[in-house]
Structure 1
Amino acid sequence: MTGSLITKKKIAKVFKKLVAQIGFEKVTIAKIMQESNMRRQTFYDHFQDKFDLVDWIFQQEAIEKIEDNLAYEGWQVIVENLFIYFEENQLFYRNVLLFEGQNSFQEYYTQHLKVLINQVLVVKKNAENELNDSDHLFLEEFYANAFVSLTTKWIIKGCKIESHQFAEQMRFAFLMSFEEKE
C-alpha cells in the first residue's frame, strides 16, 4: 500500500468516526486533521472537500467491491452485500444521508446505481415492442432513484429490517421488471 493510500485511509477512518459522533455538517477539515495529527494541507493534497472524501470512502469500500464482483456474482448477491455494508456502517451513512445539499450523497449513489443497473440487468421486453434508448435511460433513472430512496429511508430509520430481508425485498421488486443478463 502506498503512503498516499495509507494517508487517505487514515483521514477516512477519522472522518467516519467524527461523522458518527457529531454529524456530517459539524465535521470540519480542521477537526479531521487535528484528530488525525496531520497538517490541514495534507487533506487538500488528497481531497477537495469532505464531499469528495465521502465519495472516496464509498468508492473504496462499496463500489470497487461491487465492480470487482460483477464478473462472477449474481446481482442479488451484489445487492445483498451492499446492504450488509450499509448496515455495518449505518451510523456514518445515516449522518451523511441526512445532509441534502447540492453535493448530497444521494446524487452520487444514484449515479453509481444507474451504472450498476445498466451493467447487471436487462429490462424485460414485450414481444411486440423493443425498448428504445430513451425509455431504457428513463427506467435506469427510475429504478436507481427508487433504490436510493428506499435505501435512504432504511438507513435513516436505523436498518430496522435486517439487511438480508431488505435485500430480498429489493430483489423481489427488481425481478418484477428485470431479468439477469445471460
Structure 2
Amino acid sequence: MDRRIQKSKKAIMDAFIELLSEMDIENITINKIADLANVNRGTVYLHFLDKYDLLDQYLEEQINQLLEKCAPDEVTDKFTSKSTLLRVFEYLEQNSNLYSTMLKNRGIPVFRNRLLLIAQQSLSKQFDLISFGPDFNKEITVQFLASAIISSFEWWITNSIPYPASVMAEQIWALLERMMITSP
C-alpha cells in the first residue's frame, strides 16, 4: 500500500479514536473525523463507508493485533498457558488507554462482544479436548468462564489497572486451575 494512503488512513483512525475518548460514537461525524485528521471528507469515504465501517475495521485491526501478540508459545492440546495469559494482560496494560476507550464508550458494545466470542471459542475448543463426567454441561461452563474472564479484563482496564498484569494473570490462572480446565 502506498505510504500516503497508509498515512491518511492512520490519521483517520487516530482521529476517530481520539474522538471516541471524548464522546459517544453517535456524536461523532465524518466532518469531525476529517477535520481532526486534517483530511477532507472524500478521503475518509475513500477508505471507509461510514463511521461504523471505520469502527469495524479499527476493531478488527485491534483484535488481530491482540491475538497476534498474545498467541500461545506453541500449539498444544493443553489449555492456553499461564505465560500466554500474562502476555494478554501485559498487552492490555501497554494499550490501556485504547482499550479503556473501547470498553467505556457506551456506543460500541461490539468490542466487548467480540472479545467475549473469542474467549468462548477458545474455551469451547479446549473443552473438546477434555473429558468430563455426564453431569458436565459444556455450553453453560463455556459461557460462565468466558463471561468471567472478559468481565475481569473489563473491570481491570476500566478501573485504571489496580493490580499489575502478573497478579491478574496469576489470579485468573488459579481460578481456571480450580475449575480443572487446565489439565487434560
TM-score w.r.t. structure 2 length?
Answer: 0.74
Say whether 1:142 aligns with 2:147. no
Q: What's the counterpart of residue 151 of structure 1?
A: 153
CA distance in 2, matches of 1:115, 1:70: 18
Distance in 1 separating the partners of 2:64 and 2:113: 17
CA deviations 1:123-172 (Å, max 9, x no partner) are 7544x5385xxx22322222111111111111111001011111111111
CA distance in 2, matches of 1:65, 1:120: 20
Q: Which runs of 5+ in 2 are unaligned?
A: none
**Aligned residue number for residue 11 of structure 1:** 12
For 1:42 and 1:69, the matched residues in 2 are separated by: 40
Contact 1:80/1:164 (CA < 8 Å) preserved in 2?
yes
Misfit runs of 4+, over 6 Å: none
Shift of residue 15 of structure 1?
3.1
Q: Which residue of 1 aligns with 2:93?
A: 87
Aligned-pair CA distance for 1:5: 5.5
**Which segments of 5 or more consecutive residues in structure 1 lack a partner in the other structure?**
none
User: Which structure is larger by alpha-carbon Rg, 1 or 2?
Assistant: 2
Question: How many residues get paired?
Answer: 175
| Residue 87 of structure 2 corresponds to residue 78 of structure 1 | no
Q: Choose which of 158, 163, 166 in structure 1 pairs with 2:165.
A: 163
Task: Determine if the alignment matches structure 1 residue 65 to structure 2 residue 66.
Answer: no
Superposed displacement of residue 54, structure 1? 4.1
Aligned match of 2:119 in 102, 113, 127? 113
Which piece of structure 1 moves more, 168-177 or 64-73?
64-73
Structure 1 contact 90–155 (Cα < 8 Å) conserved: yes
Q: CA deviation digits over 1:28-78, x for unaligned, max 9?
A: 433333222333344343465153144223223212334575537953222
The answer to whether 1:129 aligns with 2:134 is: yes
Could you say what secondary structure the match of 1:179 adopts?
Answer: coil
Candidates 167, 176, 182, aligned match of 1:179: 182
**Structure 2 CA distance, aligned partners of 1:16 and 1:123?**
39
For 1:156, the aligned partner's letter is: T
- Aligned Cα RMSD in Å? 3.2
Provide closer, same or farther for how the CA distance between residues 84 and 92 of structure 1 changes in structure 2, counting only shifts above 3 A: same
Q: CA deviation at 1:122?
A: 5.8
2:122 and 2:135 mapped to 1: Cα distance? 21
